[in-house]
Structures are given as structure tokens and as C-alpha cells.
Amino acid sequence: MSIKSGSLSAHAWRQIKKEKLAMLSLFIIVIYVLIALASVTGLLAANWSKEVGASYSAPSLQHIFGTDIFGRSVLEKTIKGTEVAISVGLVTAVLSITIGVFLGAMAGYFGGFIDEMIVWFYTTLSSIPTTMLLVAIALILGKGMLAVYLALGLTSWVSLCRLIRGEVMRHCEREYVQAASAIGGGHLRKIFKHILPNVSHIVIINFSLQFQTAIKSEVILSYLGLGVQGRPSWGTMIDDSKLELARGVWWQLAAATIAMMFVVLAFNILGDALRDALDPKLKGKS
């Protein structure tokens, strides 16, 4: 019996390609990213603040998602919100993964005093209620995008760090890592060339989960008035619609929640498919 040639990641990619739902999710995510890029570069929704119609006109062919109190297009606001969501998701996920992987690998590999310090640090951090911490950071840094990035990035790395620490410890005991020391390999080589590629599946899966968690957290922060200021985001749109609902204006709320739902759902499905394809512990349980 010969197994089809190729690396483990090539193998995983082939498996994901077979999953129709996962591919659809990936497609949806790509579209969101493209919309966000178009919005950043000004191709889409550059004039979102312009008045395009009457105040609170219901969805029609002219204004697919209707207009808001100032007669601005809700569609364009949603697109602008996508930009915020994707950028927050990306920056936060990258930030939290960088911190989580770095600290987790250090703690797991070196053990001893370094490990104790890192564990002490993250247990202290995680003993503070996350939302309180977010509020505190947002208040210190002042409201705005930077505060959102940092607040979310600096609080979401703990679970990944724990996972990576445990996994790295396990891999340190494995014979291939000992073989690397036996041939004279140094610490950096063992960590970066041997151990980290073998825990990369955790990082990838975590990336997709962090991304959507960050999107949701941004919405909550903005809803609480601690998030982005002076520009539309899904959270501020939902915040606005608090008062609108009483007057029967539902479209702003609908546009923001539907936009959020699709991207979060897509990330969840993709995350599960990634886990099935990449996690060696689930191999053979199809």
C-alpha cells in the first residue's frame, strides 16, 4: 500500500478541497476580504457619508438595504463596516497568535523558571474578566481603532499560549527532537525547524477561530461605545438601531447582523474543516 505522495499539509489541502461546505466558506471569506480591500482603497463605499435619499427609506431597488436617519446608504455603511471587521479580525488574530506562539513555545521548550514566569503572567491576566480588561485598555488608549486592535490582541492570546505550551512540551519528548539534539542541533533549530511546524495545525485552526471571535468582540465593543468612532462599523450600526427598531426601521440592524452572521459562520465551518484535516489526533476517524 503506497500513500499518495506529498507533505502533510498538501494532504490536508486535498481533504479540505473535497469538503464542499468548507470550500464555500472559504469562498465567502475571500469575498469579504476583497470587499474590505476595495473599501480600504476607496473603490467601494468611498462616499458612504453622502446623503443619497430620504431619511429612513425602506429597502428598495435603489437602496438595497435602505437608508439611515441621515439618508445615507446602509449598504455602503455595511461595506465600510466590513473593512473594520476584517481589519480588526486580521490584526487581532496576528497579534494574539504572535504573542501566544512565542510565549507558549518559550515556556514549553525551556521549562523551569521561564515557564513559571510565563504561566504566572497569563494566569494573572486571565483571572481578570476579559470585558473589564477590554474596557480598561480602551479607556487608557482612548477610543478608536488602535485601542480595539490592542485591547483584543492583548487579551486573546492566553488560550492559544496554553495549548502551544502543552503541545511543545509533548513534542520535546518526542524522539525526532532528541534526534535533532543528537546531531548537534541548537535550540533555535529545534524550536523553529522541528517543533513549531509540528504544532502549526493548532495555529492555523486558532487563527480562524480568533478571527471570528475578534469580529464579534469588536461589535460588542462598538455597541458599548468603546469601539471605533466616527466611522460606521457593524457594532455602531447595531447600536444606532436600538432606537430605530421602535419606529419599525429594521433594515440597519438586519444588514449588520446578516453581514456578521455570514462571515462568522464561514469562519466556524472552515475552522472545523481545518481541524478535521490538520489535527493528527483526529486522523482515521472519518
Binder among 54, 61, 132, 183 for another protein (CB under 8 A)? 183
Q: How far is the CB of 179 from another protein (least distance, A)?
A: 5
Residue 17 in contact with another protein, rule: CB under 8 A = no
Binder among 24, 179, 245, 282 for another protein (CB under 8 A)? 179
Residue 7 in contact with another protein, rule: CB under 8 A = yes
Q: How far is the CB of 176 from another protein (least distance, A)?
A: 5
If we measure between CA atoms, which residue out of 127, 213, 99, 115 comes closest to residue 165? 115
Direct distance between the N- and C-terminal alpha carbons of the chain, in angstroms, rounded to an integer: 19
CB-wise, 7 or 127, nearer to another protein?
7
Binder among 186, 247, 248, 281 for another protein (CB under 8 A)? 186
Q: Which of residues 200-229 bind another protein (CB under 8 A)?
A: 200
CA distance 26 to 263: 10
Residue 54 in contact with another protein, rule: CB under 8 A = no
Q: Which of residues 146-175 bind another protein (CB under 8 A)?
A: 174-175
Stretch of 21-29, 30-38, 150-158, 182-190 lying at the interface with another protein (CB under 8 A) = 182-190
Residue 185 in contact with another protein, rule: CB under 8 A = yes
CA distance 92 to 207: 10
85 CB-near residues (< 8 Å, 6+ apart): 32, 36, 215, 218, 219, 233, 234, 259, 260, 263
224-251: b (≥16 Cβ within 10 Å) or e: eebbbeeebbbbbbbbbbeebeeeebeb
Q: Are 267 and 22 in contact (CB under 8 A)?
A: no
Instruction: Tell me the residue type at 140.
Output: I
Residue 268 in contact with another protein, rule: CB under 8 A = no
CA distance 283 to 286: 8
Binder among 145, 180, 220, 254 for another protein (CB under 8 A)? 180
Binder among 49, 126, 130, 181 for another protein (CB under 8 A)? 181
Interface residues with another protein (CB under 8 A) are 1-9, 174-176, 178-186, 189, 193-194, 197-198, 200
